[in-house]
Structure 1
Amino acid sequence: MNKLIAAPGRLARRMLPFRRRPKTHADLPFFAVPAEAIDVLPDPVTFRRELLRLIAQARRRIVIVALYLQDDDSGREVLEALHEAKRRVPDLQVSVFVDWHRAQRGLIGKQKSEGNAGMYREAAARFGTGVEVYGVPVQSRELFGVLHLKGFVIDDAVLYSGASLNDVYLARHGRYRLDRYHLLQHAGLAEAMARFVQRHFLGSDAVQRLDVAGVPPTRLLQPAIREFRQQLQRAGYEVPPATLAAGEVAVTPLLGFGRADNALNATLLDLLRGARERVVLLTPYFNLPRPVRVLLGQLLRRGCRIDIMVGDKTANDFYIPPGQPFKAIGLLPYLYENNLRRFARAHRRQLDSGQLNLHLWRDGDNSYHLKGLFIDDDVAVLTGNNLNPRAWSLDLENGLVLRDPAHLLQAKHAAEWAALRRHATRLSDDRALESPRRYPAEVRRLLRRVNRVRLDRLVNRLL
């Protein structure tokens, strides 16, 4: 019924010669957050310690939203800390939201298992059901979209990062996956992010508990998932009117879901369009959506300086080192490197002049998961959005836009950018990348097959 009601509007939008122009970022509502209430955490070890500290001190609510809470040492540490917080403060609201599909399968390439959901049920059996763990099915299949919302709300604090919760993201056992980590202390922002989850997740029949027995199969949830997706298309954060006073930064939470009327996508494009002098773009997978690539080209022609940091293919979380059994998923880092090679070749003149700088991050066998934007000296975007076609149209994303006209955060942003560059090298030109002729034989064979049928375009859209 909802589809029938919405059909005339969708048809009209397709037939119109143009779309209604979205609001510009100057029109965005915001929370006025004191600059001193926004902190940049330096590394994953500090992020883990801060998360556990906030959980231990929680008095009213803990709302964790992540792609996954892994069944490993770090995941169990966090889950047990949540149960201990609930035991210590019985009235504490503790809710965890993870992707429905990701939680109920094993790791890619590993034997079949009940996934992380088994850990949730085992913990509930040991500690009780006070910590509620929910699965959020953004799409009917994981391939077509996942829960990629970010932000942990603990009382009046928002701990924001693109990281999920497992050993590598939390730097256990000698390896880490680098992300960005920010702590914002503001009651209104925390309330808006918690209220969104309560209203749109807990209010949907598609969102089900994973820490209890008798979890329904996905096929029985299909009608509820379709209705949930339609609801998300219309959803957003509630931000009351505010004015910016001296010493404050404007912080706007934005939701992104679907190709049309996507507030996060539209705002990111508007922010890029308004860049005056400089853009810094961070992405773990060099597979930019076409609108972003077009805008970057326009900015370069306009004289803007652009810095892009991406992980070296060996720092990609899908990279399979030589000597280990190769699986098809290991082709992805090579596809992303080929994308980067084409981009560098197309903009060789700007690379030579220093107007365009491509930074490759690598630190031993650690991996890279950064995402976000710095624009001029007064705008920053914190987000889990990978800035790729999948994030642009399939996954449920969010972000925080920080507008800082008084440059109160400039020193913090500069320090963060300098720290990120510590393990990065500037790409001189496309020839500095490894030649495809030197790729492993299995990679070369798969690349020939993929390129022959133009399958790389489909792969880039879905992964």
Structure 2
Amino acid sequence: MRIPFIKYNHQKYLDELAKIEQSADDYQVLYTAEEYRKTLLQYIQNATHRIYIVALYLERDEAGQEILQAIYDAKRRNPNLEVKIFVDWHRAQRGRMGEGKSQTNAQYYHQMQQQHLDAPIEVYGVPVNRREVLGVLHLKGSIIDDTLLYTGASINNVYLHKLDKYRYDRYHVIRNRALADTMVDYIKQQFLPFDAIQRLDSAEQKTRKQLKPDIRVFRHHLTQANYQFEHQATANHLSVTPIAGLGKGNSLNRVIHHLISSAQHKIVFCTPYFNLPPIIIRDIIRQLRKGKHVEIIVGDKTANDFYIPEDQPFNIIGGLPYLYEINLRKFVERLQEFVDKDQLIIRLWKDNGHTYHLKGLWVDKDWALITGNNINPRAWRLDLENGILVHDPQHQLQDKFAKELMTIRQNTLLVNHFQQIQASQFYPKQVHKLISRLSRIRIDRIIKRLL
């Protein structure tokens, strides 16, 4: 009697979540980074009353300049347009790897503000913790008028495929006034009242030391914060539920756990970094033993944004893709019996030097989660994350989701045996030496929790 009770609780948890009714006609899925960039620019150009951009960073490269200039142009055409941009405070204070501090995004925002005094917009830095390594703003979503454009991507050349390389993500465009209002209300209520939130387009910037007490208060508040809205949809209708989470046991973590555990037939999920929290590994194994099917689509190590080609100078961050691959090989070896039965499907994504940043879940044909959450220990404990849970009991979005999955699978290799995944003894000499040293002092465990 115990197992049906557990099943019922997982499904009951999801069914009882507050939901916002959604029209299928107003839900669009895009399939390429370039298409998303063009769509975002179009929505900015046509904005009538508000633009709220939330991302880990808006880079000062060609794509970032294109987006920011389009926003300034929209503000100049419509002075009453409400414009607010939110990025991670720590990320904005440093330059790219190897560049000086003067080349920061924060300084770029100030320069742009000085060049557009006739069209003022507001750019804010959000410090989720005292240091970047201990937590960042990983909340996602651009709200333009009554439409949410949701992706795990940040704003730069590779994420938006502005030049020759792209970083593949998911791109959903959801027209829903109640959802858009809910997302904006969260920002207004959970961000703007707090002293830790800083304007990045001003000349003077506070130091981390000066902000330390304010950040502590802000982070504590965020662990208790979530989206607030009236319950509008029943369990029988197409609906969307925005969910935010920070810290162990938060609402988004619980939803992911219950989604996997509630599956009656099949679970599909994507993650760019195979570094799953222990509870998710247990959930997957439990479902496999019950006869459910699981498909995992993960990036090949060469499609990881931390991967360093062998002909380039190597550093410690370049060891991460190999650590993730070791995790994956051990996982497949442990569960090879389910792979042999085609019950566990592992796909490696790779496309000629492009990178992979997809994350999210599809459960049976009833539920889907779009999120920036990497489903790893860092996302589970340190970063401020969010996602949109889609409940589709009548399968109105099934064609769109099926096409999305088909597109993702196009550049994947099916793993039929753990020996297809390269063993660590065959890694480049400098990688093998680094991993051996890290493992010997057990610091690899700490690294995988933080990155």
Q: Same fold (TM over 0.5)?
A: yes
Contact 1:104 1:114 in 2 (8 A): no
Misfit runs of 4+, over 6 Å: 20-23
Query: Alpha carbons of 1:202 and 1:447: their partners in 2 closer, same or farther (altered >3 Å)?
Result: same
Superposed displacement of residue 200, structure 1: 1.2
State the partner residue of 1:388.
376
Which residue, out of 110, 127, 150, partners 1:160?
150
* Cα distance in structure 2, aligned partners of 1:432 and 1:22: 36
> 1:98, CA displacement in angstroms?
0.2
Residue 208 (structure 1) shift: 0.5
Maintained 8 Å contact 1:58/1:154:
yes
Give the secondary structure class of the aligned counterpart of 2:195.
coil
Q: State the match for 2:233 in structure 1.
A: 243
1:206 aligns with 2:196: yes
Q: Quick check: 1:352 aligned with 2:337?
A: no
Cα pair 2:269 2:360 within 8 Å, conserved: yes
**Which has the higher mean CA deviation after the structures are superposed, 418-427 or 123-132?**
123-132
- Which residue matches 2:256? 268
Q: CA deviation at 1:198?
A: 1.1
CA RMSD of aligned residues (A): 1.5
Q: Deviations over 1:131-163 (max 9, x none)?
A: 110000000000000000011000000000000
Q: Report the equivalent of 2:280.
A: 292
3-state SS in 1 of match to 2:410: helix
**Structure 1 equivalent of residue 159 of structure 2:** 169
The 5-angstrom pairing of residues 31-50 of structure 1 reads 31-50=20-39
Q: Deviations over 1:31-68 (max 9, x none)?
A: 00111111100100110001000000001100000000
Question: Which residue matches 2:387?
Answer: 399
The CA deviation string for residues 381-403 of structure 1, in whole angstroms up to 9 with x for no partner, is 00000000000010000010001
Tell me if structure 2 keeps the 8 A contact 1:22–1:266.
no
Q: Is contact 1:100–1:135 with CA below 8 Å preserved after alignment?
A: yes
- AA matched with 2:185: R
Normalised TM-score (structure 1)? 0.93
The code of the aligned residue for 2:285 comes to G
Deviations 1:258-286 (A, max 9, x none): 114x0111111111111101000100000
Q: State which of 10, 17, 26 in structure 2 corresponds to 1:28.
A: 17
Other-structure match for 2:5? none
SS state of the match for residue 137, structure 2?
coil
Higher alpha-carbon deviation: 387-396 or 197-206: 197-206
Give yes or no for the alignment of 1:368 onto 2:369.
Answer: no
Deviations 1:197-254 (A, max 9, x none): 01111111000100011111111111111111111111111120213498x5110000
Instruction: Choose from 408, 422, 436 the match for 1:448.
Output: 436
- Do the aligned partners of 2:31 and 2:171 also contact (CA within 8 Å) in 1? yes
Q: Which residue of 2 aligns with 1:191?
A: 181
Aligned 8 A contact 1:32 1:245 in 2: no
Stretches of structure 2 lacking an aligned partner (at least 5 in a row): 1-8
Cα distance between partner residues in 1 of 2:418 and 2:98: 32
SS at match of 2:298: strand
| Paired residue type of 1:446 | L
- The farther-off stretch of 70-79 and 432-441 is 432-441
Q: Given the alignment, which residue of 69, 76, 88 partners 1:80?
A: 69
Q: Distance in 2 between matches of 1:23 and 1:107?
A: 46
CA drift at 1:110: 3.8
Q: How many residues align?
A: 442
Q: Secondary structure at the match of 1:234?
A: coil
Identity over aligned residues, as a percent? 46
TM-score (norm 2): 0.96
Shift, 1:195, TM fit: 0.8
Q: Unaligned regions of 5+ residues in structure 1, if any? A: 1-19
Q: Distance in 1 between matches of 2:313 and 2:213?
A: 40
Distance apart, 1:114 and its partner CA: 4.3
Q: Is the 8 A contact 2:10 2:262 kept in 1?
A: no
